[in-house]
Structure 1
């Protein structure tokens, strides 16, 4: 798959898309301020037309979609019978078609599974490669011409970290670090994608790469299928009940586990945010060990160098890991200290009485 943004001056492009244009930290600032757009070649689109599309997706997924109104952004998870996350997608309906935006690495698997589950219903999902995805703030996307095949502009607004109807929040911090995050994704034609690339090449608009996109995501504690999900992942472990799970909807595959873990038990693992010792310049790799002393208690799922917070990461650790434990993370330069911020508390569950706590101060990991 070629990348039309490779001709933009300074562009560094790999198989997943535009990574950066030479200064990822400056790109983060522009992206957060709404003065840059982010091409999302790492995302792909599935179109689901048909009269039964919303009730069908409602029956298959964790989200209540049967009455989804046109233009309202939400997200869904496809779970296995044990409640583990298999697929994830952003959801937008235009009154005639439901549009799913998924991580490109997941889109084939999600599409194949949806095709198998059609039975005799009036639905016809397809991978819509004639469209691309452009990300940014709502203000930045005002300069983009989204596709609108049914008359409604296809712009998905991320609901994170607000708690959607039927959802539940585990993170005890106040304010949530994603509270001020402004993020949307527009589905555009390939002609519009090329127009944006040409304008960027001329210097008429600014772009930000995927490195900047991911750094802002990690800082907002926002889970993502391609980074934070493994074969054991439960939505509870990632605080994904906020936006992707409706706890009071009808039956779907994996619902029994969702209800049991939430109402009667605790997730076996939990997501933590890490502020890494900033004395070095090497970030941990995906899967890098997280330790308490010599005991390996988890693994890094995402890491980034943030323009304000410095080196940060998300990690999945055992539920029993003390919230005040001194953690270290393995890097190519050896172990570094990591200060833990609680995303999902050890006693997460509906009856847990978890006090709200202030956010950890920046750079305490190196103290």
Structure 2
């Protein structure tokens, strides 16, 4: 098993799945904030009070080093709803797309599609392309037995880089090259599947064996410069997975393994989405406004140090079991400020503990151990 992937899936060039456990010792609290003293600003002004936040002297939390926060100005912030590109679960769509993926990535085996009610598959030995629903997202994949990846048996070292919040000067050139290739692959897949979203690189891994090296790049979906949450906490409670309001972050994950020549060997990607609704928000809570809300709303005895603060969309939707229903419901994406503590999952990959502040309502949610 390589990835922590519960019954959500995607478009990819290989597969795995496992289940996450949720310890009872979880802290997940929601409460509304009094926003009367909070300043709302246009989306291009959200970081204008950045320096003021760092000089405010908050007592309940410590912000990360200011150089690690990427002050990316988005092209607007939206009430966002996503629909699935293949919302009616068409097997003909899957068969067509498998063949298009086959052509785009220059597979050498015989392109004969094996299809059943839910799955379209091309496979010869270990070489595969597949589109399969787990809930509504799909997965297609290719598997290669060559090169180094995170399931290689003879790994000597694995270096992690949380690319979305480390100083860019600290990222090795080779990892930047791998990231560029990964983004290029994602763009190809997006074009084939009719995806209207973009991708951002969130994490990268350099994996060494005694005589070889490989790279793993993790990406998140994004819309007009704002990423959509693709990681969860190892300590997430069941409250995040209530029917009709499930946290759909696993449906936003994409991983790509590349060999030492930056050729993709293994791709696990999320489903393609179209934008069902994108209503612009004229004003939202600023960076400092979110910090001020935390200072007011967190418990007096709380003391926490954050590794990153980032504006992202929280995706919520309905997990539909493919064999039981072909119903497809939109995913609602709510813009929030994420105050993040880095963690490491049992798989050795990046996970997060976090507190969110809703950019419109000011509501605070704590997902921390």
Q: Same fold (TM over 0.5)?
A: no
Q: Normalising by structure 2, what TM-score?
A: 0.23
Q: Normalising by structure 1, what TM-score?
A: 0.23
- Relative contact order, CA 8 A, sep 6+: which one is greater? 2
